Structure 1
Amino acid sequence: MTITTHSVTLDGVEQRYHVAGNGPVCLAHSGGPGIAWDYLRMRPLEEHLTMVYVEPIGTGESGRLAADTDYTLDNYVRYLHVVVEDLAAGPVALLGHSHGGFVVQKYALAHPVDALVLYDTSARTGAEFFGDAVANIQRHGQKILAAFTSQHAEMTNDELTDVLRTIMPAYFADWRVEFEPLRAAMRIWSGPSRGQDVPFDVREQLSALDVPALVVVGEDDFICGPRWAQELHRALPSSRLRVIEHCGHIAHVERPDVFYPEVLKFLS
């Protein structure tokens, strides 16, 4: 499927995005913050939908904010909105993965949307959220635990990319050799990790968000697992929850046989 690249500018900063497919528009926001967008490319969805992939500010060929501390959820929402406006397609479906799920929740609380796919994400972060992740990741061994708990904000792009690749097996229920090309291609930029933001928590606000929502979670996701998905599902008045068995944080790669039909059924 052919993919085209577009850009729009806000406050002198270029926001790139990529478009592939045909059909109703679904705009996808990748995780991180700071991870390259292309791990989230979803070719099976492009056969039925016009997929729009945001290349988040601070990554790849998109522009950089004046200060790393400015990589906040509010700013990600602002730059997402200029993409939606540039598409001129009216309210669209949004798919947010992990940190991208935080962005699309905040976006939907401020702007009209057609539907939400909240994919391995949460309605909140904070000490309890990260403490739970640290406890869960310990089962993957000391090397991965040490990488996950290292001082990411003090690292260069290359150092943080090495950390991401080190912890990649923890994002899967069953790490297999076929996932190695994905690990080798993963890249992250360190600037967004220095964003100064308050802990994310929209649980009380979500009760006012009466739009169709699909909450998808891998049963074995160590960071945004079923506990957080269930809480998110309960907070949303018009949501349904799908827990994917034998699956970690990256269901579209590990369990495409379940993930794609579930998302297509919902969005159609």
Structure 2
Amino acid sequence: MADLPLVLLHAYPVDARMWNAVREPLAARTRLITPDQRGLGRTPLPETDREPSLDDAARDVLALLDRLELDRVVLGGCSMGGYVTLAVLRAAPERIAGLVLVDTKAGADTDEARANRLTAAERAESEGITGWLADAMVPNLLSEQTRQARPEVVATVRELIEAQAPAGVAWAQRAMAARPDSTEALRQAGVPALVIVGEQDTVTPPDEARAMADALPDARLEVLPGAGHLTPLEAPDAVAKAILDWYPS
């Protein structure tokens, strides 16, 4: 067993069940921890007057590490989970022994992307998410190849999206809209890193993954053919192999 536990943070708008297909091989190698993030899955949204911020999501992760008495872990995430990983890196780099950045990016949102997030947050709060969020998200989250050839993956993603609480969806969108650029944090990361991206990812394309790998002092880049934005669901065997081949001991 590897000495370093692995913490993986899920994407928006799903929950930690997105890691189910990679759970067995990774857990055979090391202790695997996959929490639901605030407002999603089984984790409630705290009552607070604070503006939504991924810095608070990062504090949730650090509080979890404290509860589990883990000084340092390999920390990773997919999409929003990657953004939260970068927020932890900014806040407490000493807690991170390695990084796994899956279908994510270091840059902040463009003005257009930020506006789209805020519109979606308002709609989730006013209408709920049933009947529109999965329809809007699935074409962006999964490659055309996956959507056409693997209806079971499409069904799983739709089910995960539709299981989320509208308030958690809205919080996550507002928090992501407010996130800063994290490129400088990557440049200063003194730990090994693995960057994984689907070749057909249109949300955080391979160019964004290459930019992160170039910024990191010690990074390996894996581009997975045929996969889109949710590689742990679309190409779980390749994701697990990439992590296991790279994993620091």
TM range (shorter): 0.7 to 0.9
Paired residue for 2:38? 57
What is the letter of the counterpart of residue 153 of structure 1?
A
Does 1:127 pair with 2:101? no
Q: Is the 8 A contact 1:31 1:96 kept in 2?
A: yes
What is the letter of the counterpart of residue 34 of structure 2?
Y
Paired residue for 2:152? 178
d(CA) in 1 for partners of 2:53 and 2:165?
15
Q: How many residues in Structure 1 have an aligned counterpart in Structure 2?
A: 231
Q: Look up the SS of the partner of 2:106 in the other structure.
A: coil
Does 1:220 pair with 2:205? no
Paired residue for 1:168? 138
Provide the alpha-carbon RMSD of the alignment.
2.7
d(CA) in 1 for partners of 2:198 and 2:8?
18
- 1:36-185 aligned within 5 A: 36-41=15-20, 42-43=22-23, 44-67=25-48, 70-111=51-92, 112=94, 113-127=96-110, 130=113, 151-156=119-124, 159-160=128-129, 162-166=131-135, 167-173=137-143, 174=145, 175=147, 176-185=150-159
Q: What's the CA shift for 1:232?
A: 0.9
Paired residue for 1:190? 166
Contiguous gaps of at least 5 residues in structure 2: none
Q: What's the CA shift for 1:31?
A: 1.7
Q: If the length of structure 1 is used for normalisation, what is the TM-score?
A: 0.76
Go from structure 1 to structure 2 and tell me whether the alpha carbon gap of 1:46 and 1:181 turns closer, same or farther (over 3 Å shift).
farther
Normalized per residue, which structure has more helix? 2
Q: Look up the SS of the partner of 2:35 in the other structure.
A: strand
Contiguous gaps of at least 5 residues in structure 1: 1-20, 132-147
Of all paired residues, the percent bearing the same amino acid is 25
d(CA) in 1 for partners of 2:241 and 2:36?
25
What is the letter of the counterpart of residue 186 of structure 1?
L
Go from structure 1 to structure 2 and tell me whether the alpha carbon gap of 1:219 and 1:261 turns closer, same or farther (over 3 Å shift).
same
What is the letter of the counterpart of residue 190 of structure 1?
P
Q: Look up the SS of the partner of 1:57 in the other structure.
A: coil
Q: Deviations along 1:245-264, whole A, 9 cap, x unmatched?
A: 11101112212232211111
Q: Is the 8 A contact 1:23 1:48 kept in 2?
A: no
Q: If the length of structure 2 is used for normalisation, what is the TM-score?
A: 0.81
Q: Look up the SS of the partner of 1:118 in the other structure.
A: strand
d(CA) in 2 for partners of 1:78 and 1:31?
17
Normalized per residue, which structure has more strand? 1
Q: Deviations along 1:216-237, whole A, 9 cap, x unmatched?
A: 0001101011111111111111
Q: Is the 8 A contact 2:54 2:176 kept in 1?
A: no
Q: Deviations along 1:85-111, whole A, 9 cap, x unmatched?
A: 111132001111101101111212332
Query: Larger relative CO (CA 8 A, sep 6+): 1 or 2?
Result: 2
Paired residue for 2:190? 210
What is the letter of the counterpart of residue 236 of structure 2?
P
What is the letter of the counterpart of residue 97 of structure 2?
D
Q: Look up the SS of the partner of 1:241 in the other structure.
A: strand
What is the letter of the counterpart of residue 225 of structure 1?
P
Go from structure 1 to structure 2 and tell me whether the alpha carbon gap of 1:199 and 1:23 turns closer, same or farther (over 3 Å shift).
closer
Q: Is the 8 A contact 2:117 2:177 kept in 1?
A: no
What is the letter of the counterpart of residue 152 of structure 1?
A
d(CA) in 1 for partners of 2:112 and 2:77?
18
